[in-house]
Structure 1
Amino acid sequence: MEHESPPSQEVSGKALEATLLSALKMLDVGKWPIFSLCSQEELKLIRQACVFGSAGNEVLYATENDEVFVLGMNCSGCLGTGDMQSTIEPRRLDSLCGKKIACLSYGSGPHVVLATEEGEVYTWGHNAYSQLGNGTTNHGFIPCQVSTNLVNKKVIEVACGSHHSMVLTSDGEVYTWGYNNSGQVGSGSTANQPIPRRVTSCLQNKIVVNIACGQMCSMAVVENGEVYVWGYNGNGQLGLGSSGNQPTPCRIAALQGIRVQRVACGYAHTLVLTDEGQIYAWGANSYGQLEPDDHLTVAQSLKKEFDNPETADLKFLVDGKYIHVHKVLLKIRCEHFRSVLNNDDEVIEMSEFSYPVYRAFLEYLYTDNIRLPPEDAIGLLDLATLYGENRLKKLCQQTIKQGICEENAIALLSAAVKYEAQDLEEFCFRFCINHLTVVTQTQGFAEMDHDLLKNFISKASRVGAFRN
């Protein structure tokens, strides 16, 4: 196969730990966007579900009779359907049907590692660095069992880094394989590891009870509460007090005397939970992902002052009303205002948007949250698009989704198209398809823009909405 460059330590996608949700009778999975086109009869049969992928666009679920289905995007074959075709209709994974699923993890390569209740391990997806553990670098398009060095072993937990994999057995042993440029498989070298091998060194005579992977690092908690770490450490995510990589497991000395129960990893930071219910965090903190009380972001540090105009040094004049704001906040938090503000400004007159929209925008800059009704979020979405505030744009889309109904679905779809809000557009489209009979009888549908209507009918036809 063609050689692939190793993933960048700076920009490769983060490894996301996917959580399998059971007892879904307590949840209305029909409200999850990815399930919006499934019938009520199909939804009632779901017993377990796991939404995974960097954007949550893939789902694997098991039914009451242990049939396993997938749907969604299919990057690098991560759905395991045998091809690269994405699907909005559930497709059955015959190789997993009849298996009771215990846990699943997703690496951003992307690849998937799954364990059954009987302790068998199955992998599929991207495999350029042998992260599937089958001894090759061929991508896997269907789930295949990993048996090398795991025969007679019962796997009870799985974890994925971006391009490496790790499992924990019932007898407390840890096995790793895959990409190893920073020592993340714990072998003592930086050579990629094509098959599962037990991590020994300091763990040789230890019983491990919990594992986790960061992007390119690995963690293990042993039965006495000690934490051992290895792999990439450029952001201090190993908690060793340095930034050098660690090719073999090393105990975190700073946790001496603290009994840890569980460890969890983000892209480049780590958290542990102690037996006393305390949480310790270390590593990267560029987004305030560590303890917020001690490591405040600009927005958090100014939050208390939002309703205290005496401390502000700038005014927005909108619709004849003044909004007080810190000039430094605008310069740091919003690219749009860096070119607008100068040292002499005391009042900025704004006229493009309403007072409630601007106030909601400024509150977002102070607090990282928005508080306004779904119907008013369209104006804020317009502002976010104009000012290039992508995170705010995502929050607006989430708020708008909460207010969708048959009467306004077309209007919201139109707004999503206008402001290039692709996630909202797809959500609205699926809602319309799911409520097609009622939606097509609304005034909004009758007044629908010609080009939008044409595209809607074409797309609806492609997904089989008009089949008898």
Structure 2
Amino acid sequence: MCSVAVVDNGEVYVWGYNGNGQLGLGSSGNQSTPCRIAALQGICVQRVACGYAHTLVLTDEGQVYVWGANSYGQLGTGNKSNQSYPTPVAVEKDRIIEIAACHSTHTSAAKTQGGHVYMWGQCRGQSVILPHLTSFSCTDDVFACFATPAVSWRLLSVEPDDHLTVAESLKREFDNPNTADLKFLVDGKYIYAHKVLLKIRCEHFRSSLEDSEDDIVEMSEFSYPVYRAFLEYLYTDSISLPPEEAVGLLDLATFYRENRLKKLCQQTIKQGICEENAIALLSAAVKYDAQDLEEFCFRFCINHLTVVTQTSGFAEMDHDLLKNFISKASRVGAFKN
């Protein structure tokens, strides 16, 4: 069997059995030690999914690359030929945010930012050689309905309904007026919280609530969606916001020095970037000193330069930022043609 690992900078290393080219090294020879996939140089991989003898990776730009066995069309390339090099797979124009495969099947699945779920490969004994739009809202359903045997690509918990973990219990208590001892007034609306949890989870609240006996805190610096997302993050350790709102949350994360939240915001913004909002997101990255996000947005703008320069965001770009953008773009050869 083969093994795949992704390091912090997005590079992919592989090793193990390679009879079907599932290592993506351009050959079918086995590899006894970890080897970087040179064909993915310059591409930042975020996630990996491995089937029985094929591999999928998802990049930070929402692009999927595949390689390995393809006897059932599980690579989604439009044919049944094996691929020993990473090959891109297109799913209309929507950005992919989740990929899935399972070791016991020859099936692949993906979910887009718009919530559409696609599948390809083995489907109840038949071959689907191109990504096919399903009626599902979750990739798990693809393997439960189409795979043979019916499986799930990730571990599922089968705990009794009356048992909740600590994390699940905390999630349920967010914004619960029946148990809260503190409420935030933001844009005329209340958000209910628990002082002890806020002090445990956030250094800012640890100091600001230490000697406070107030049970209402008025907040005017941030919008209601942004501040609610921040408090919910303290209960759930996750965020769910469109990229435009995530920019506001990035501002808050910077203000409160919440580095993990800052990283989550940057991931959300990366997944939601498009030609229309690329300049706005680049400006936000510069403003909040998010260097990794700034580089990502800049690279996206360069890759889509013709369309980006025709947007209203580019026309209204801050003078200093525009000057720096043109200078940096010139250095990387963006204007050679």
Relative to the length of structure 2, the TM-score reads: 0.55
Matched, 1:341 2:295: no
Distance verdict in 2 for CA 1:123–1:60, change over 3 Å = closer
2:195 alignment counterpart: 327
Shift of 1:59: 4.8
Distance verdict in 2 for CA 1:382–1:441, change over 3 Å = same
Give the whole-Å Cα distance in 1 for the aligned partners of 2:215 and 2:248. Answer: 26
1:260-318 superposed Cα distances (whole Å, 9 cap, x missing partner): xxxxxxxxxxxxxxxxx9979xxxxxxxxxxxx78635xx4311112421101111122
State the SS of the aligned residue for 2:166. coil
State the SS of the aligned residue for 1:369. coil
2:262 alignment counterpart: 393
Distance verdict in 2 for CA 1:324–1:441, change over 3 Å = same
Partner AA of 2:231 in structure 1: L
- Kindly indicate whether the alpha-carbon contact (under 8 Å) linking 2:276 and 2:311 is maintained by their aligned counterparts in 1: yes
Relative to the length of structure 1, the TM-score reads: 0.40
1:317 alignment counterpart: 185
Structure 1 residue runs without a partner (length 5+)? 1-16, 20-51, 62-98, 105-113, 126-276, 281-292
Give the whole-Å Cα distance in 1 for the aligned partners of 2:324 and 2:298. Answer: 11
Partner AA of 1:296 in structure 2: V
Structure of greater Rg:
1
State the SS of the aligned residue for 2:222. coil
Greater share of helix: 2
Give the whole-Å Cα distance in 2 for the aligned partners of 1:395 and 1:278. Answer: 22
1:296 alignment counterpart: 166
Give the whole-Å Cα distance in 2 for the aligned partners of 1:334 and 1:353. Answer: 17
2:29 to 118, 135, 151: 118
Give the whole-Å Cα distance in 1 for the aligned partners of 2:187 and 2:260. Answer: 26
Residue identity (%):
73
Matched, 1:355 2:224: yes
1:157-186 superposed Cα distances (whole Å, 9 cap, x missing partner): xxxxxxxxxxxxxxxxxxxxxxxxxxxxxx
Matched, 1:18 2:31: no
Give the whole-Å Cα distance in 1 for the aligned partners of 2:155 and 2:311. Answer: 52
State the SS of the aligned residue for 1:465. coil
Give the whole-Å Cα distance in 1 for the aligned partners of 2:27 and 2:227. Answer: 51
* Backbone CA RMSD of aligned residues: 3.5
Give the whole-Å Cα distance in 1 for the aligned partners of 2:31 and 2:271. Answer: 40
1:39-69 superposed Cα distances (whole Å, 9 cap, x missing partner): xxxxxxxxxxxxx32232x2579xxxxxxxx
Partner AA of 1:353 in structure 2: F
Alignment of 1:63-462 (within 5 A): 101-103=21-23, 117-121=28-32, 296-297=166-167, 300-343=168-211, 344-462=213-331
Shift of 1:347: 1.6
Shift of 1:384: 0.9
Partner AA of 1:302 in structure 2: L
Shift of 1:403: 2.8
- Kindly indicate whether the alpha-carbon contact (under 8 Å) linking 1:316 and 1:347 is maintained by their aligned counterparts in 2: yes
Give the whole-Å Cα distance in 1 for the aligned partners of 2:234 and 2:184. Answer: 14
Distance verdict in 2 for CA 1:120–1:350, change over 3 Å = closer
- Kindly indicate whether the alpha-carbon contact (under 8 Å) linking 1:115 and 1:122 is maintained by their aligned counterparts in 2: no
Structure 2 residue runs without a partner (length 5+)? 37-152, 157-162
Give the whole-Å Cα distance in 2 for the aligned partners of 1:123 and 1:315. Answer: 52
Give the whole-Å Cα distance in 2 for the aligned partners of 1:439 and 1:453. Answer: 13
Shift of 1:102: 4.7
Shift of 1:397: 1.7
2:9 to 55, 65, 72: 55
Aligned residues: 213
State the SS of the aligned residue for 1:54. coil
State the SS of the aligned residue for 2:210. coil
- Kindly indicate whether the alpha-carbon contact (under 8 Å) linking 1:102 and 1:116 is maintained by their aligned counterparts in 2: no
Shift of 1:441: 1.9
